[in-house]
């Protein structure tokens, strides 16, 4: 060992000696106060980590060890912040500035504020979840939703499960177990999270009989798929893609007219459940649950948290004889919904009794139907607020397009206004990262080297937070 390293080793030992022990940190009054509100485990872990990081700092230092000193109050603050971070929920609220309304990664639909009281009431108390109040005896959790959904869709009966994938699984397992289901090759979709009709069929233990070709399926193809084992015909709404051009498919009405299919139930997986004819609001017509039943579908399944704008759920509507069978299927018990889902769904559905109420108060519908004029005004407000910050960046209002998302209405181009930010002193990706990791967790998009805030999915009351975070980042 040469002299100089010997000198450094000595200095390092001196520096190590300055580090407080875990016990000393724990004895600090601020940490004692912290112990009243946070688990000891987490505080201990944070303390060890902070001390360890200081050790590493000493090890990595070579010539500037003289300047090394421990500021105890800084170290204590680090422990406090680290403990608080560890205690935070992993699932956090974010600001969706992407303009994608049903953003699967960001929790799909947000519930209406009008649902909040009902949800909290039920979640934090006892309820008549499975209790019939008028008879004073056991009831069914599914009863709460039957009347309202029957009223809104005209269905004979209703069943609710955990999500639409579960709904399709339950339907196929009940109707088509050990038999065959005919599906057009043009409708064999895969949706997010690798949900494939074919895989669900395997789980449901039925056999898929594919008919037709990707772009064209004729009534003769369906007839060719028939056998002694045919238990159902399944139609799948190709919600997340479209086959355009030279195409042909067979509608439910057409299938219903054929003598051969008379006793074969027709199942339709609609994906997104729509109760409102959106063409009235300038959007492309999306098949509604009501229309699907009217055309003759025996069973229809759809999600609660896509276009419907409610909580995650799978809704099954249709003929009583099939729904009764599903209720008796043991799978139903495994796929059942929680009381919070029932409360949020019932309260959301109640708004549909008045279509205007639904459009105005269900965030998903409100954001999708928001007019360009309103978005323009909203973007002006945000633009002015950001410009007033006088930050070193190029800030513009620009026309752009937002998406419905969630695999719904893939071709719909929703015109929108955005506020774009191009920082002068640092990169756009740095800005994106800082906003994403800020306390408000702002999630926007980058396009052509500009950061884009699409006002369609941002609430006006979130502008304050965006402005606050921008100010912090640019100063
Ligand atoms: C989204 C979708 C599903 C799956 O619904 P989840 O509610 O996500 O389980 C199934 N089928 C179609 C056609 C869909 O669009």
Whole-angstrom Cα distance, residue 179 to residue 344?
Answer: 36
Identify the band that residue 184 occupies on the pLDDT scale cut at 50, 70 and 90.
very high
Q: What is the DSSP string of 327-362?
A: HHSHHHHHTPPPHHHHHHHHHHHHHTTSHHHHHHH-
Q: Is 271 in the pocket of ligand 1 (CB under 6 A)?
A: yes
Identify the band that residue 191 occupies on the pLDDT scale cut at 50, 70 and 90.
low
Q: Are residue 399 and residue 415 in the same domain, yes or no?
A: yes
Answer for the pair 47, 11: CB distance below 8 angstroms, yes or no.
Answer: no
Q: How many domains does the chain have?
A: 3
Q: Are residue 25 and residue 123 in the same domain, yes or no?
A: no
Q: Is 402 in the pocket of ligand 1 (CB under 6 A)?
A: no
Q: Are residue 180 and residue 133 in the same domain, yes or no?
A: yes
Q: Are residue 357 and residue 379 in the same domain, yes or no?
A: no
Q: Are residue 381 and residue 454 in the same domain, yes or no?
A: yes
Q: Is the model more confident about 110 or about 285? A: 110
pLDDT > 60? residue 199:
yes
Asked if the structure places residue 173 within a domain, the reply is yes
Q: Are residue 82 and residue 208 in the same domain, yes or no?
A: no
**Starting from the edge strand earliest in sequence, which strands make up the sheet with 230-236, in order?**
157-161, 314-318, 299-303, 266-272, 230-236, 180-184, 207-211
Q: Are residue 154 and residue 214 in the same domain, yes or no?
A: yes
| Nearest CA owner, ligand 1 atom 3 | 271
Instruction: Please give the span between the terminal C-alpha atoms of the chain, in angstroms, as a whole number.
Output: 48
Ligand 1 pocket mutation pick from 191, 197, 299, 301 by most atoms within 8 angstroms of CB: 191
CATH number at residue 429: 3.90.1150.180
Q: Are residue 58 and residue 144 in the same domain, yes or no?
A: no
Atom of ligand 1 lying closest to residue 104 CA: 8
Q: What is the pTM of this model?
A: 0.90
Which residues on adjacent β-strands are paired with residue 208? 181
Show the domain range for 261: 113-361
User: What pLDDT is attached to residue 239?
Assistant: 63
- Residue 164 CA to ligand 1 center (angstroms) comes to 5
SS3 206: coil
Q: Are residue 307 and residue 449 in the same domain, yes or no?
A: no
Atom of ligand 1 lying closest to residue 305 CA: 7
User: What pLDDT is attached to residue 243?
Assistant: 66
Asked if the structure places residue 136 within a domain, the reply is yes
User: What pLDDT is attached to residue 215?
Assistant: 82
Q: Are residue 294 and residue 442 in the same domain, yes or no?
A: no
Q: Over pLDDT 90: what percentage of the chain?
A: 79
pLDDT > 90? residue 325:
yes
Q: Are residue 8 and residue 29 in the same domain, yes or no?
A: yes
Answer for the pair 420, 451: CB distance below 8 angstroms, yes or no.
Answer: yes
Atom of ligand 1 lying closest to residue 167 CA: 9
Q: Are residue 352 and residue 386 in the same domain, yes or no?
A: no
């Amino acid at each position: 060992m040469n002299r100089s390293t010997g000198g450094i080793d000595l200095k390092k030992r001196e520096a190590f000696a300055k580090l407080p022990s875990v016990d000393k940190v724990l004895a600090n009054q601020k940490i004692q106060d912290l112990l009243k509100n946070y688990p000891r485990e987490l505080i201990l872990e944070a303390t060890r980590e902070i001390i360890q990081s200081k050790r590493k700092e000493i090890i990595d230092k070579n010539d500037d060890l003289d300047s090394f000193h421990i500021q105890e109050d800084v170290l204590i603050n680090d422990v406090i912040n680290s403990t608080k971070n560890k205690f935070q929920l992993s699932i956090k609220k974010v600001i969706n500035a992407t303009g994608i309304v049903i953003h699967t990664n960001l929790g799909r639909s947000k519930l209406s504020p009008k649902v909040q009281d009902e949800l909290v009431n039920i979640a934090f108390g006892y309820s008549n979840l499975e209790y019939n109040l008028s008879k004073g005896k056991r009831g069914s959790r599914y009863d709460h939703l039957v009347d309202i959904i029957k009223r809104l869709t005209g269905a004979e009966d209703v069943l609710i499960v955990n999500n639409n994938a579960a709904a399709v699984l339950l339907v196929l397992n009940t109707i088509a177990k050990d038999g065959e289901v005919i599906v057009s090759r043009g409708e064999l979709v895969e949706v997010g999270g690798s949900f494939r009709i074919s895989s669900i069929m395997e789980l449901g233990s039925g056999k898929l009989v594919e008919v037709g070709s990707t772009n064209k399926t004729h009534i003769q193809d369906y007839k060719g798929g028939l056998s002694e084992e045919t238990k159902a015909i399944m139609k799948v709404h190709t919600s997340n893609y479209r086959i355009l051009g030279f195409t042909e498919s067979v509608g439910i009405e057409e299938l219903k007219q054929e003598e051969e299919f008379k006793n074969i139930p027709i199942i339709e997986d609609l994906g997104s459940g729509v109760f409102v004819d959106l063409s009235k609001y300038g959007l492309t017509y999306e098949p509604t649950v009501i229309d699907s039943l009217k055309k003759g579908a025996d069973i229809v399944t759809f999600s609660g948290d896509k276009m419907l704008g409610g909580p995650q759920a799978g809704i099954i509507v249709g003929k009583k004889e099939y729904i009764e069978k599903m209720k008796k299927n043991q799978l139903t018990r495994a796929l059942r919904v929680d009381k919070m889902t029932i409360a949020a769904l019932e309260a959301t559905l109640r708004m549909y009794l008045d279509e205007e109420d639904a459009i105005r108060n269900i965030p998903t519908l409100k954001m999708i139907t928001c007019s360009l004029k309103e978005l323009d005004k909203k973007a002006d407000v945000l633009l002015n607020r950001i410009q007033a910050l006088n930050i070193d960046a190029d800030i513009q209002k620009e026309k752009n397009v937002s998406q419905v998302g969630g695999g719904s209405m893939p071709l719909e181009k929703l015109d929108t206004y955005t506020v774009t930010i191009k920082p002068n002193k640092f990169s756009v990706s740095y800005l994106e990262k800082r906003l994403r990791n800020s306390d408000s967790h702002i999630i926007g998009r980058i396009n052509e080297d500009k950061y884009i805030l699409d006002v369609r999915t941002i609430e006006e009351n979130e502008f304050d937070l965006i402005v606050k975070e921008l100010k912090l980042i640019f100063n």
